[in-house]
Structure 1
Amino acid sequence: MMKVMMYTDGSARGNPDGPGGYGTILEYIDTKGQLHVKELSQGYVKTTNNRMEMMAAIVGFEALNRSCQVDVFSDSQYLINAFNKHWIEGWIKKGWKRGKNEPVKNVDLWKRLLKAAGPHQVTWNWVKGHDGHLQNERCDALATTAADSDDLIEDVITE
């Protein structure tokens, strides 16, 4: 099974209702020992930081065309803890409710992320943001550049 390293970051200017973007880096080493790197990014007219953190992971998984072992690295505790602290399992059991019977935010993206990550063996890793981690810094640059670009699309919430 191919091993992929996925680095992700999201950005929102004027969170929660300003422009935002995500940046994703996929890295893998082929059977000849050659490193392959793919960078993905997109900016949105109006979004939130959490939605962009999630989109970064979603597009990374959706770019994979076969089942892989994927190590995800993100500075988003929202994203990482949802899996490592099993929040998402509780939300699903409660019909996408949390805490005091409040609805979970971003259900559309959580469902899309679960579907995209489903075929893969995933390890979720938190990294401290803005701390010199090379790929995290690059993802941050991709995300902020996308958020500041003129090529912004609508963040359509489907639920």
Structure 2
Amino acid sequence: MQDIIMYTDGSSRGNPGPGGYGTILMAGQKTKELSHGFRKTTNNRMELMAVIAGLEAMKKTGLNITIYSDSQYVVKAVKEGWLNKWLATNFAKGKKNKDLWVKFYNLSTKHHLKFVWVKGHADNPYNNRCDELATSAADGKNLDIDEGYEMDPERLIL
């Protein structure tokens, strides 16, 4: 079975503010780009959403996927076991983005994932392209609602 390479990036114009993600999927000679924008979100949410979007695009299970991200938040959460602790404590002590981390975790169990941190805004053309996709999506028109962010009970004013 062919290995998949995934590059991801997220962007937020303000934190919170309009945001977007960019994802590049590569398998052999095939390449697919994904991006989407939201009207109010955070950078960390978009970094994680970029990975989720890539995983959701997979049509098969059991794939070997190497994920390149410039987000230490995402990479360290997985590689250093933060996510496992957050799941075990049901995201106690105000850990953010529970909705996306649970979604990521459920998708991640279907594949064999390896995370690699890359320096952002450097000389990696795939990371730079993901940044272009993410910022273009954040700057787009008719942005969607990031319901996990905007409808979070802790953020709603009653």
Question: Structure 2: which 5+ runs fail to align?
Answer: 153-158
After superposition, residues 3-152 of structure 1 pair within 5 angstroms as 3-16=3-16, 18-29=17-28, 35-67=29-61, 68-97=63-92, 102-152=93-143
- The one-letter amino acid paired with 2:26 is E
- The separation in 1 between residues aligned to 2:138 and 2:101, in whole angstroms, is 22
* Higher share in strand: 1
- The one-letter amino acid paired with 2:9 is D
- The separation in 1 between residues aligned to 2:58 and 2:142, in whole angstroms, is 24
> What residue in structure 2 maps to residue 32 of structure 1?
none
More deviation, 135-144/83-92: 83-92
| Structure 1: 4+ residue segments shifted above 2 A | none
More deviation, 47-56/148-157: 148-157
- The separation in 2 between residues aligned to 1:90 and 1:69, in whole angstroms, is 24
Total equivalences in the alignment: 149
Question: Structure 1: which 5+ runs fail to align?
Answer: 30-34
Can you list the C-alpha shifts for 1:60-86, whole angstroms capped at 9, x where unaligned? 000001121000000000000001100
- The one-letter amino acid paired with 2:65 is V
- The one-letter amino acid paired with 2:103 is R
- The one-letter amino acid paired with 2:135 is T
Q: Identical aligned pairs, as a percentage?
A: 47
TM-score relative to the length of structure 1: 0.91
- The separation in 1 between residues aligned to 2:117 and 2:34, in whole angstroms, is 20
TM-score relative to the length of structure 2: 0.91
